[in-house]
Amino acid sequence: MSEIAMTTAENDVVLTVEGLRVELDPSGADIDDEVTLSIRKGEVLGLVGESASGKTTAATALLDHERRGARIGGGKIMVEGRDILALKPNELRRVRGGLISYVPQDPSMSLNPALRIQTQLVEILEAHGFGASAAEREKRLEEMMEEVLLPSDAAFRRRYPHQLSGGQQQRVALAMAFACRPAVIVLDEPTTGLDVTTQAHVLRTVRDLTQTYSVAALYVTHDLAVVANLADRIAVMYAGRLVEVGPKEALFGGACHPYTRKLLEAIPDLNGEHALRGIPGRAPVPGRRPEGCFFAARCDDVEDQCRAGFPPYDGPGEDHRVRCFRWREVEARPMFADRPLRMAAGPACATEEDALVTVRGVRVFYGSHEILHGIDTTVCSRRCIALVGESGSGKTTLARAIAGIHPGKIEGDILFKGRRLERDSRSRPKESRQQLQYIFQSPYGSLNPRKTIGQILSQPLKEFFRLSRDDMEKRMGDALELVALDATLLSKYPDQLSGGERQRVAIARALAAEPSVLICDEVTSSLDVSVQATIIELLAGLIEETGVGMIFVTHHLPLVRSIAQDVAVMSAGNIVEFGPVGDVLSDPQADYTKKLLADTPTI
Amino acid sequence: MSVIPQDAQEIIPGADELLPEPRPGGAHRRREWVDIIRGSLRFGRTKVGLVIVVAIVALALIGPYVAPHSPYATGVAPDYAGPSARAWLGTDYIGHDVFSRILCGGRTVIGLSVVATVLAMILGTALGLLAGYSRPAVDDVIMRLLDVLLAFPSIVFVLLLVALLGNSLGLIVLAVAITHAPRIARVARGATLEIVGRDFVRASEALGVPRRKILAGEILPNITSPLLVEFGLRLTYSIGLIAALSFLGFGMQPPAADWGLMIHENQMALAVQPYAVFVPVFLIALLTIGTNLVTDGVSRALIGIDRDTGAK
């Protein structure tokens, strides 16, 4: 287990973790176990895993922090020769923020809203005795602000966190983490929730700072594309175990673990070279993990020995470790078994009469504030139009206005099959309510937790069709079949389903109404990449099978290629560029589109 | 119990969402209040409260069948006689057997309180749901009107109604219900506000589901837990209020056997015959303490306070 540590010891290894185990407090079930890794000076190690894989728990354990309900059950963490887990509380306090620092996920939660940012930054320096005098600390403070590319003038430093944008807040958090020139910095998904442009800035800052000050950084994320640009090495975590650790090039060029491969195949690719492929099934949760390899149940390469014991660390090189019995066979296969893209779309509408939905000069308001400034677009059957833009661009507002659930004033015309629609879905004719179906962003919010799946699915059926009990059952079964779910789910409640299954149910609810237009609002943004891929596959298949027209709202440009034929890029309430997906993504005309493309991380 | 350690759900964000299989035993969160009541039984206070409430309700229900004398029989012993073998707790101001009257006098207090509280819950919940869902105009009208009602102390308001409209049991129940309704409406509205913003409500609206169906089918099932706590609390107040009204001479009239009324009838002879006053007082107090303890346990279970530490 200590081979890695020994072989890299001469290369300025700052942090070594050996056999780290974190377990649930009363029960002792393992959240993380056998986590072994090391990071060198100036190196960024990306720790990648899907939700609930234990990555954040492991990352915070590096600061000897036990999350509520968890305890560190074993292992060794060495930072510059000091054993972190053996420190006394007062020593640990000096080490945290000094020797190792932490950047949390959400800066709006981690900064104290009642204190000026300057106060919070100086606090760190004082706590760690950085700088001999107030003047010296003042100087360091200015330096810190410049390092994270924030204005260092006094007026800015006197601001409160709420007076900063999300990106600026995260920079302040970064400045705090780098304040005392730590040896190790742990970054916990610091760009989640930021727009791609802001994310690109923050990532650049992280990279520059770690290199300039030779800091060893652990970057925790669920997004392989983000670490692809940032990290030097990548560690893939699955169900609390590291399954593959290796240099970025080795992993992206020839991953040796089936899970890593599947994860890479599930990532939408901006260049549209590869088709998406989801990973069916789910990772086992603590206390329910099987004997043998935890990935066995979802693995195509599974054999008897996989079920007998968890594979040991092995692999092609000292720096590239894999925990799979069959890594040699996996390595030998070419990456991305190619599949054609699904682009079996209908023709673009020739005339306006063909269009299902026509939006003409639509201006949408929140109160007296105009959000959309004259939007024109059309939706045709058997085709998908993607609305792409950053937060605040008005893409969701447009989708909601079309669906009739925007609460404010709307000017201009929204036509459905040539008939003008009212603002509010309740005053619209039944036919349009039935044929325009909206799927919400988060399946955790869009399904009533007190209703069974059957009750949820019966709602549109009761509303739009007069059906006998048997017909109803049959229709619900058909709708579930379309989304590849089993009819036995009808008696279950949403909290008994996984996120991906819930989103399928939400899609089934929309399909039960037999719509001609599906409006999908960021339907995959709350799901893991492996699940996202299966949902995208499903939606693309539905266009083909049922011939619906689709509006696909997303902030994630790479997704567009996998599902849409046309794309409308939105910014500040306007459509800044519109055209076929291939043209817009490969030869963008608008500056905004170019910038968006440049900032989007790719593999 | 569950195969998954309970703590697994707290610590890993999203672990709850990722639960792969149905929870064993078939008790899912479809009816959260069932889980909450079950959870509240972990607390000692809930158990004690429940024992008290069950004992007193049993006494009130069974009492009339086991009473040694009719509660209306006068001259069981001389007026204001002390305890004897014939009248265990002595007699009251016209020679009724105090023990028998206590056994028979609980039904009205408990019955009227429950009916009044249920009525108040129906009224208050309906108003609160409507107000929370129909913002801002309808909300303002309903809540400001309820604020006016809230301005009156409940006992004053009930006395006012009874004085104006006459003294009947139905009116008293209604009056008590009306005094509680605004408070319940506030709780219901607050809970509703949390739910109306959720997407599943928006989804129903987009389908064109009528408002009453959204209120009853989508929102109400999601606010049952706070309403459960409110029911317990309002029941406690109802018992006190109804007993107080009897004591003041409204509600049950002599010679009816009623705990509140007994206190009123025998207060003059407190020094001579304390049992006829103190035992009803004690029972009413104990009943409210019991319902309060149960409510407290339920609300603790609702917000998930730890049994031992009391910390969140």
- Tens of pLDDT, residue by residue over A414-456, are 999 888 998 888 889 999 999 999 999 888 889 998 899 999 9
Residue A21 domain-assigned?
no
B66 CB near a chain A CB, below 8 Å? Answer: no
A408 CB near a chain B CB, below 8 Å? Answer: no
Cross-strand pairs, A372: A364
A292 lies in which domain range?
255-341
Query: Do A327 and A385 reside in the same domain of the chain?
Result: no
Query: Do A510 and A593 reside in the same domain of the chain?
Result: yes
Q: Is the ipTM of this complex over 0.90?
A: no
Comparison of pLDDT for B142 and A7, the residue scoring more: B142
pLDDT at B139: 92
B205 CB near a chain A CB, below 8 Å? Answer: yes
User: Which band of pLDDT confidence, cut at 50, 70 and 90, is reported for residue B2?
Assistant: very low
Interface test with A, best of B1, B207, B215, B308 (most A CBs within 10 A): B207
A415 CB near a chain B CB, below 8 Å? Answer: no
What is the pairing mode between strands A13-24 and A369-379?
Answer: unpaired
A 268-327 near B (Cβ less than 8 A): 282-288
pTM over 0.90: no
Query: Do A367 and A488 reside in the same domain of the chain?
Result: yes
User: Taking a C-beta distance cutoff of 8 angstroms, is the pair B66, B58 a contact?
Assistant: no
Query: Do A300 and A436 reside in the same domain of the chain?
Result: no
- Residues of chain B in contact with residue A509, where contact means CB-CB under 8 angstroms, are 203
- Quick one: A253 exposed, middle or buried, by C-beta within 10 A (0-12, 13-18, 19+)? exposed
Q: Which residue has the tokens 């299966």?
A: A534
Query: Do A413 and A276 reside in the same domain of the chain?
Result: no
Q: How many beta carbons lie within 10 A of that of residue B50, not counting itself?
A: 17
The shortest CB-CB distance from A463 to any of B11, B207, B218 is to: B207
Which tokens sit at A8?
């890299």
B13 CB near a chain A CB, below 8 Å? Answer: yes
Residues in chain A: 603
Query: Do A401 and A287 reside in the same domain of the chain?
Result: no
Distance CA A508, CA A502 (A): 10
- Quick one: B166 exposed, middle or buried, by C-beta within 10 A (0-12, 13-18, 19+)? exposed
Query: Do A415 and A306 reside in the same domain of the chain?
Result: no
- Quick one: A425 exposed, middle or buried, by C-beta within 10 A (0-12, 13-18, 19+)? buried
* Residue among B35, B34, B104, B60 at smallest CA distance from B290: B60
pLDDT of residue A4 exceeding 60: no
pLDDT at A481: 87
User: Which band of pLDDT confidence, cut at 50, 70 and 90, is reported for residue B305?
Assistant: low
Residues A93-134 have pLDDT tens digits of 889 988 999 998 887 778 899 999 999 999 889 888 888 888
Chain B nearest-CA distance from A115, in A, is: 26
pLDDT at A582: 85
Residues A556-593 have pLDDT tens digits of 888 888 888 899 999 999 999 999 988 898 899 999 99
- Residues of chain A in contact with residue B204, where contact means CB-CB under 8 angstroms, are 459
Query: Do A362 and A438 reside in the same domain of the chain?
Result: yes
- Closest residue of B to A284, CA-based? B20
User: Is A286 within 8 Å of B28 when comparing Cβ atoms?
Assistant: no
Query: Do A517 and A433 reside in the same domain of the chain?
Result: yes
pLDDT at B183: 94
Three-state secondary structure string covering A235-272: EEEECCEEEEEEEHHHHHHHCCCHHHHHHHHHCCCCCC
Mean per-residue pLDDT for A476-503? Answer: 87
Question: How far is the CA of A377 from the CAs of A35, A355, A577, in angstroms?
Answer: 52, 10, 11
pLDDT of residue A1 exceeding 50: no
The shortest CB-CB distance from A430 to any of B10, B28, B208 is to: B208
Distance separating the N- and C-terminal Cα atoms of chain B: 23
pLDDT at A158: 92
Interface test with A, best of B199, B202, B213, B215 (most A CBs within 10 A): B199
User: Is B203 within 8 Å of A438 when comparing Cβ atoms?
Assistant: yes
User: Which band of pLDDT confidence, cut at 50, 70 and 90, is reported for residue A225?
Assistant: confident
Distance CA A251, CA A317 (A): 12
Q: How many domains does chain A have?
A: 2
Q: To the nearest whole number, what is the mean pLDDT of chain A?
A: 87
The shortest CB-CB distance from B22 to any of A282, A430, A496 is to: A496
- Residues of chain B in contact with residue A506, where contact means CB-CB under 8 angstroms, are 203
User: Taking a C-beta distance cutoff of 8 angstroms, is the pair A53, A259 a contact?
Assistant: no
Return the C-alpha torsion angle B60, B61, B64, B67, nearest 10.
-60
B7 CB near a chain A CB, below 8 Å? Answer: yes
Largest CA distance in chain B: 76
Query: Do A359 and A336 reside in the same domain of the chain?
Result: no
Q: How many beta carbons lie within 10 A of that of residue A268, not counting itself?
A: 25
Q: Which residue has the tokens 């309180």?
A: B113
Chain B nearest-CA distance from A332, in A, is: 33
Domains in chain B: boundaries: 106-256
Contacts of residue B103, Cβ cutoff 8 Å, sequence gap at least 6:
B59, B63, B64, B66, B67, B71
Please state the separation of Cα A203 from the chain's center in Å: 15
pLDDT of residue B12 exceeding 50: no
Q: Could you name the CATH architecture of B106-256?
A: Orthogonal Bundle (1.10)
User: Is A450 within 8 Å of B3 when comparing Cβ atoms?
Assistant: no
Comparison of pLDDT for A552 and A526, the residue scoring more: A552
Question: How far is the CA of A441 from the CAs of A433, A472, A505, B203, in angstroms?
Answer: 19, 27, 13, 11
Domain limit, last residue, from A300, A318, A341: A341
Distance CA A119, CA A121 (A): 5
Mean per-residue pLDDT for A202-228? Answer: 90
Residues A58-73 have pLDDT tens digits of 999 999 988 878 889 9
User: Is A425 within 8 Å of B20 when comparing Cβ atoms?
Assistant: no
Domain CATH number, residue A379: 3.40.50.300
Residue A93 domain-assigned?
no
Interface test with A, best of B2, B7, B32, B312 (most A CBs within 10 A): B7
pLDDT of residue A274 exceeding 80: no
A 417-476 near B (Cβ less than 8 A): 425-426, 428, 430, 433, 437-438, 440-442, 444-452, 459-460, 463-464
Query: Do A455 and A527 reside in the same domain of the chain?
Result: yes
Distance CA A550, CA A378 (A): 10
* Residue among A119, A117, A107 at smallest CA distance from A198: A107
Q: How many beta carbons lie within 10 A of that of residue A64, not counting itself?
A: 17
- Residues of chain A in contact with residue B15, where contact means CB-CB under 8 angstroms, are 52, 285-286
pLDDT of residue A459 exceeding 50: yes
Mean per-residue pLDDT for A482-493? Answer: 87
